[in-house]
Amino acid sequence: MSDTTDTTAADDTNTNRRQPFPQGFLDTIGTGWAERADEIPDPREAAPYAAARRQALSARFPGQRLVIPAGGFAQRSNDTDFPFRAHSAFAHLTGWGADAVPDSLLVFEPDGDAHAATLFLRDRATRDMPEFYRDASIGEFWVGPRPSLDAVAHDLGIATKDIGEFAATDRDLVVGRHDELTSAVSELRLEKDDFEVRQLQLAVDVTAKGFDDIVRELPRIIAHERGERIVEGVFHLRARSDGNWEGYDTIAASGPHACYLHWTRNDGAVVPGDLMLVDAGVELDSLYTADITRTIPVSGTFTPIQRTVYEAVREAADAAFAAARPGMKFRDLHDTAMRVIAARTAEWGLLPVTAEEALDADKGGQQRRYMVHGTSHHLGLDVHDCAQARREMYYDGVVTPGMVFTIEPGLYFQIDDETVPAEYRGIGVRIEDDILMTADGPVNLSAALPRTADEIEAWVSGAQSSRG
């Protein structure tokens, strides 16, 4: 990375690394550049869908000024930032994805019974402006050109102004600061439109390719002392080549690590004989993400006890999918999976009570020791989408066509859990699929990936055979 010793601003107290620009540079840097044509794009596919979403939000807040920030850079270390990603509400309401300009604002100005929406963003600097060469965070010499206001207006189908023209008021309702608005923009994403469904299917399809890459690279993964890191890297290559990034930190958890639900250190070995749990999702340039989990026998074959646990988890997933229908309570998906988990763990003698007693709403829950997480969450621009929605709209809400959610039961027997026989310890299994609810019932968007124990074994065997 280039040294950001770029300027000698008079009011900058951090000057220990900064070098002055000679006068000759300052006299000539703004000259000698070819004239730059302002390329005006056609409206992007998301533009009319974003306009409809803005109209829906406008109807909920008549007469009130709404401000939806894109957000800015977050510092990683010293003068190094994390990659910028726009706030999901901002992306949803503008249609702007990975190419969004940091620190932009979408503003809804009251206009009679409706609103006039304006996108405020930093206009493109000309080559004779100091920002062009001085500012390492936004200057074109450092990070490349920004689009012009006119280009963004045509691209997104929304009026644009320079961010310098924005003036806040004490009456503004701002996402992230105003609870009702924050909930509203989250709830607006509960039902996906056609564009969103297409993006989510594409994200799933690319993610499936990433899982194929991992299975194909198993020999290299096994050979490395930190094979989990190789898993992470192999998937990252697919995410960056065919998408924008991962939608969340990849979980590459082998052996006992598979029992830690959000294991993202990914610094362990991948050992034949163990199971490897991979929970990963590609985020597209539109910022929609998949969220898929598969549990793979590293040697290519499940042991009898691994297969028993795996197929119990699949039974729970299949039961939840079979129960899914429009009009049901969202929380009933979890309850359905829990009935299977309770039945199987009781059958194996792992519970101190019967399955029926474990399912008692007040005194039960013993089976939750081995599956402490929920079975489903909404999916979209965020991996845990719509998370600021009110409980009565989310967990206690009704499933409707257009919703996209996960079904992801699991069983996790930690390596030091003395409530289970030794042969169970260190086994962690999760199966996660991405589900679209339609008027005719659920559709598994990730069904193309192997799911049954037999299919998983054939997948690994086939991938290794194809390597020659």
Taking 90 as the threshold, does the pLDDT of residue 366 lie above it?
A: yes
Closest to 300 (Cα-Cα) out of 464, 75, 78: 464
Residue 13 in this model has a pLDDT that exceeds 90: no
When pLDDT is cut at 50, 70 and 90, the band that residue 140 belongs to is: confident
- Residue 17 is predicted with a pLDDT of 64
Question: Is 58 among the domain residues?
Answer: yes
Q: Is the pLDDT of residue 5 over 80?
A: no
User: Which of 187, 210, 233 is the C-terminal boundary of a domain?
Assistant: 187
Conformation bin of residue 144: beta by default, left when phi > 0, alpha when psi is -120 to 50: left
20 band by pLDDT with thresholds 50, 70 and 90: confident
- pLDDT at site 279: 98
Q: 245 and 199, same structural domain? A: yes
Range with lowest mean pLDDT among 6-15, 164-173, 287-296, 439-448: 6-15
327 domain residue, yes or no: yes
- The reply to whether 181 and 224 lie within a common domain is no
Q: How confident is the model at residue 468 (pLDDT cuts 50, 70, 90)?
A: low
The percentage of the chain sitting over the pLDDT mark of 90, rounded to a whole number, equals 85
Are 72 and 103 in contact by the 8 Å Cβ rule? The answer is: yes
Tell whether 218 and 181 lie within a shared domain: no
- Residue pair 47/153 in contact (Cβ under 8 Å)? The answer is no
Look at residue 467 in the predicted model and tell me its pLDDT: 66
pLDDT at 11 over 60: no
- 61 versus 132: the higher-pLDDT residue is 61
Q: Does 182 share its domain with 210?
A: no
Do residues 413 and 259 make contact, with C-beta atoms less than 8 angstroms apart? yes
**Domain final residue, candidates 156, 187, 218:** 187
Residue 237 belongs to a domain? yes
Q: Is residue 10 part of a domain?
A: no
Q: Is residue 348, in this structure, part of any structural domain at all?
A: yes
| C-alpha–C-alpha distance, residues 213 and 204, integer Å | 14
- Do 254 and 348 belong to one domain? yes
- Structural domain includes residue 260: yes
Distances (CA, A) of 331 to 189, 281, 320: 18, 24, 11
pLDDT at 337 over 50: yes
Residue 186's alpha-carbon distances to 81, 190, 378, 457, in angstroms, are 27, 7, 11, 40
Q: Let me know: does 358 contact 352? Beta carbons within 8 Å.
A: no
Q: How confident is the model at residue 35 (pLDDT cuts 50, 70, 90)?
A: confident
Confidence of residue 466 (pLDDT cuts 50, 70, 90): confident
CATH code of the domain covering residue 348: 3.90.230.10
Res. 125 pLDDT band, cuts 50 70 90: confident
The residue-averaged pLDDT of 6-22 equals 59
- CATH number assigned to the domain comprising residue 155: 3.40.350.10
> What is the span of the domain harbouring residue 49?
23-187
Regarding whether 161 and 290 lie in a shared domain, the answer is: no
pLDDT for 144 equals: 86
- Same domain? For 257 and 305 the reply is yes
Q: Which of 17-21, 168-172, 313-317, 321-325 has the lowest mean pLDDT?
A: 17-21
pLDDT exceeds cutoff 90 at 138: no
Looking at the fold, whether 421 and 288 belong to one and the same domain comes out as yes
Query: Which residue, of 138, 168, 187, is where some domain finishes?
Result: 187
Per-residue pLDDT for 213 more than 70? yes
- Of 214, 185, 234, 186, the closest CA to residue 57 belongs to 185
Together in a domain, 62 and 179: yes
Of 457, 431, 388, 99, the closest CA to residue 291 belongs to 431
Given the structure tokens 């958890």, which residue do they identify? 253
141-172 pLDDT, tens digit each: 888 888 999 999 999 999 999 999 999 999 99
Q: Are 257 and 304 part of one and the same domain?
A: yes
pTM of the model: 0.94
Contact 334, 374 (CB under 8 A): yes
Share of the chain above pLDDT 70, in %: 96
Domains identified in the chain, total number: 2
Left, alpha or beta for 334 (phi > 0: left; psi -120 to 50: alpha)?
Answer: alpha
Q: Does residue 229 form part of some domain?
A: yes
- In 3D space, the residue among 146, 152, 191 whose CA is nearest the CA of residue 437 turns out to be 191
Q: Look at residue 136 in the predicted model and tell me its pLDDT.
A: 81
pLDDT exceeds cutoff 90 at 113: no
Distance between CA atoms of 222 and 459, rounded to whole angstroms? Answer: 17
**Residue 17 resides in a domain:** no
Residues 152 and 220 placed together within one structural domain of the fold: no
Q: Do residues 143 and 229 share a domain? A: no
